Amino acid sequence: MKGYTRLDDYRYERKYVAVGHEADQVEWALRRNTALFRPKFSGRQINNIYLDTPGLNCFHDNLFGNGSRWKVRIRWYGETLGEIKQPILEYKLKKGLVGTKRSWMLASFTMDENFDFNTLLDLIDRSDLDDEQVSDLKSLRPVLLNSYSRKYFVSFDGKLRATIDRNLKYYQLKSSWNSLFHPYEEKCKSVLELKYNKNNDELARDVSEQFPYRLDKNSKYATGMQYFNQGIAE
């Protein structure tokens, strides 16, 4: 995507996967860390519609580890289905191990089994976006919906932020039909993510060594896409 890169605000986002561990266990491991993580504010459910090119360029870039890649999603909080108020358009850009994000508010829309490419076009036209964004978005297609519960934490010194995601669900989106009533669920899995500015990398390394979980890129987008497109992913 053009025009949204600024190198000075890229940050690290390191993910640790806990398979077979309840979210409460992961939170306990985070709270006992010497960085003294504490809740930042109330948890909430996050929902995302991921957009990709007809050739699934974003998925393939992630799958094959392209060092410079981008991702576009529509995010909202609360219930997954129904009238969606205050959705957010997000462009995520990744360069090596660091990434950044740009966000814009979108018009309201309805998320149900009838959501398709035409629904996306209508949403784009009703939102306050510039011509370049509109052109970019109209070249993409909705391919995946996911949802998960997230809790937020911050270290005692405020230099590190962490999130814990659980109840991960994925729904396939197609131009002609959507599998909204048959989600793929990742049960007994939690994802701990550590987020921090580049100048706190050494501190974060010391803190992360205390986590009893493995470091993993764990892209939720790639996970869902691999499940619903197993022939492509092989």
How many CA atoms lie less than 13 Å away from 183 in the CB half-sphere? 18
Distances in whole angstroms, Cα of residue 119 to Cα of each of 70, 86, 125, 126, 142: 23, 16, 10, 11, 10
Residues forming a β-bridge with 13: 195
- The answer to whether 163 and 153 are in contact (CB under 8 A) is yes
Q: Which two tokens stand for residue 127?
A: 């939102």
Superfamily of domain 10-229: Hypothetical Protein Pfu-838710-001 (2.40.320.10)
Q: Which two tokens stand for residue 227?
A: 């499940």
- The pLDDT, as a whole number, for residue 3 is 39
- Residue 175 reports pLDDT greater than 80: no
- The pLDDT, as a whole number, for residue 217 is 81
Q: What is the per-residue pLDDT across 16-72, written as a single tens digit (0 to 9) for each?
A: 999 988 889 999 999 999 999 999 989 999 999 999 999 999 999 988 878 788 999
**pTM for the predicted model, two decimal places:** 0.91
* CA 80 – CA 111 distance, rounded (Å): 7
For the chain, the structural domain boundaries read 10-229
- Residue 13 reports pLDDT greater than 60: yes
Q: What is the per-residue pLDDT across 107-154, written as a single tens digit (0 to 9) for each?
A: 999 999 999 999 999 999 999 999 999 999 999 999 999 999 999 999
- Residue 6 reports pLDDT greater than 90: no
- 3-state DSSP helix/strand/coil % of the chain, to nearest 5: 25, 40, 35
Average pLDDT over the chain, rounded to whole? 91
- The pLDDT, as a whole number, for residue 231 is 63
- The pLDDT, as a whole number, for residue 98 is 85
Q: Which two tokens stand for residue 193?
A: 């993510």
Burial class (CB in 10 A: 0-12, 13-18, 19+), 1: middle
- Residue 8 reports pLDDT greater than 60: no
Neighbours of 25 (CB within 10 A): 13
Displacement of CA 226 from its chain's centroid (Å): 15
- The pLDDT, as a whole number, for residue 5 is 43
b/e 173-200 (16+ beta carbons within 10 angstroms → b): beeeebebeebeebeebbbbebbbbeeb
* CA 39 – CA 151 distance, rounded (Å): 8
